[in-house]
Every structure is written in C-alpha cells, then in structure tokens.
Homo-oligomer: A and B are copies of this chain.
C-alpha cells in the first residue's frame, strides 16, 4: 500500500484518532457505529491497516486499535483539512456552524496541500474552527487543549466558552439559542447536586438551566 490513503482509510484513521484520544483503544463496535459500517467490515480494515508498511494502526485481536505515529500523522492531516475547511466555509461563504460539518467531511479528502496552504493563509492561520476545535498546525502537531467541561464549574465560577463538542446540527442550533457558542461569557449561578444541572447566565441572554447532556459537551 505504502502511500495511497483512500477516503475510506482516512475516515477510519480520523475516527480511531477521536475514539482513542482518551488513551483507550478504539473498539470495533464503536468504530462501526461511527463509520456507519458493519463490525465485520471494521475488523477487516483494522487487519489491513495494521499489516501495511508502514503500519497505520496497532491492532491486536479483541483489543481494539490505536494509531501508529504514521497513522496519527495521516489522521491529523485530514483533521487539519476538515477544520480549516469548516472555518473557511463559515468565513467566506456564510455557512453557519451547524451546516459546515457535512460539506467539510467530503471536501477534506480531496483538497491539495496547496489549497490547504491558501485557505490557511487567507484565514490568518486560525487556531480553532467554528466549533472551537483546535486545528492541527501545518507541521501536524495538535496544540494542547487547556479547556475543561462546563459541567465541572460550580456556583460562582465563570468562564469563556472555548469549544463545543458534537456535530448534530439540531444540537448546535439549540446551543446557539442559549448563546452557548465559542466566545460567550458564562457565569454559573447555581449548581444542582443531584442532576448536575447548572443555572447559567450567558452573556446578556436570559438565565437558563442546562443538564449534563449539554454541560459535558461545552468547554470553557
């Protein structure tokens, strides 16, 4: 194989990167769910990706997959494309943050390095995409993220929204309705011990009470 990274392979690597970000290997089933393919297909691909040279993933039967250094580079390459594209679609074509993901998912596999450089330069080498996700640098290192989940704040604490996790357009539009977008100032007015709900003052929006399903996905 050596150097032909198909779109399909790029998608696998991207998802393995994501699922193994916490240190635990990506499981067959999780990958299958993320990629919309059957688990058996994932097994087949993991075997292939771990047998090419250089290997792109480390895979041991029944123990999930992690990326090799080469695999990670390839994943970061695609992620950089994706996030630059999202930023650029928003800035130059008026896409909204809930619309960009799908388009970027298709474009990320076909743009040239030249195209990448041009949009990065045109955007002023941005550090985060419209959802606040960090954009891997041109030399393919992922900046480290010093944010923490909104869910970890307690009464009286405050912060600036840096990042929102999740690609579901409806979810993103809901957050936008609450004002919970990157850049927003948030004050925690109350914390409910039992359900984890937070009462928030977001910029000048009316106060709102949000549950863990939201506060775990928003980072400050």
Within 84-126 of A, Cβ neighbours of B (below 8 Å) are at: 92-95, 99, 102-103, 106-107, 109-112, 114-115, 118-119, 122
Contact string against B for A residues 110-154, beta-carbon threshold 8 Å, 1 for contact and 0 otherwise: 111011001100100000000000000000000000000000000
**For A94, what are the chain B residues with a Cβ–Cβ distance below 8 Å?**
118
Asked if B111 and A107 make an inter-chain contact with CB atoms under 8 angstroms apart, the answer reads yes
**For A118, what are the chain B residues with a Cβ–Cβ distance below 8 Å?**
93-95
**For A106, what are the chain B residues with a Cβ–Cβ distance below 8 Å?**
110-112
Known: A103-B114, A107-B107, A107-B110. 17 other contacts (CB 8 A): A92-B92, A92-B122, A93-B115, A93-B118, A93-B122, A94-B118, A95-B118, A99-B114, A102-B112, A103-B111, A103-B112, A103-B115, A106-B110, A106-B111, A106-B112, A109-B110, A110-B110
A86 to chain B, nearest CB (A): 13
**For A103, what are the chain B residues with a Cβ–Cβ distance below 8 Å?**
111-112, 114-115
A5 to chain B, nearest CB (A): 14
A109 to chain B, nearest CB (A): 8
**For A95, what are the chain B residues with a Cβ–Cβ distance below 8 Å?**
118
Of chain B, the residue at the smallest CB distance from A118 is B93
**For A92, what are the chain B residues with a Cβ–Cβ distance below 8 Å?**
92, 122
A7 to chain B, nearest CB (A): 9
**For A111, what are the chain B residues with a Cβ–Cβ distance below 8 Å?**
103, 106-107
Partner of A119, one of B93, B102, B110: B93
**For A115, what are the chain B residues with a Cβ–Cβ distance below 8 Å?**
93, 103
A selection of 13 A-B contacts at a CB cut-off of 8 Å is: A92-B92, A92-B122, A93-B115, A93-B122, A99-B114, A102-B112, A103-B111, A103-B112, A103-B114, A106-B111, A106-B112, A107-B111, A110-B110
Complex Cα–Cα for A92 and B95 (A): 16
Complex Cα–Cα for A109 and B112 (A): 15
**For A107, what are the chain B residues with a Cβ–Cβ distance below 8 Å?**
107, 110-111
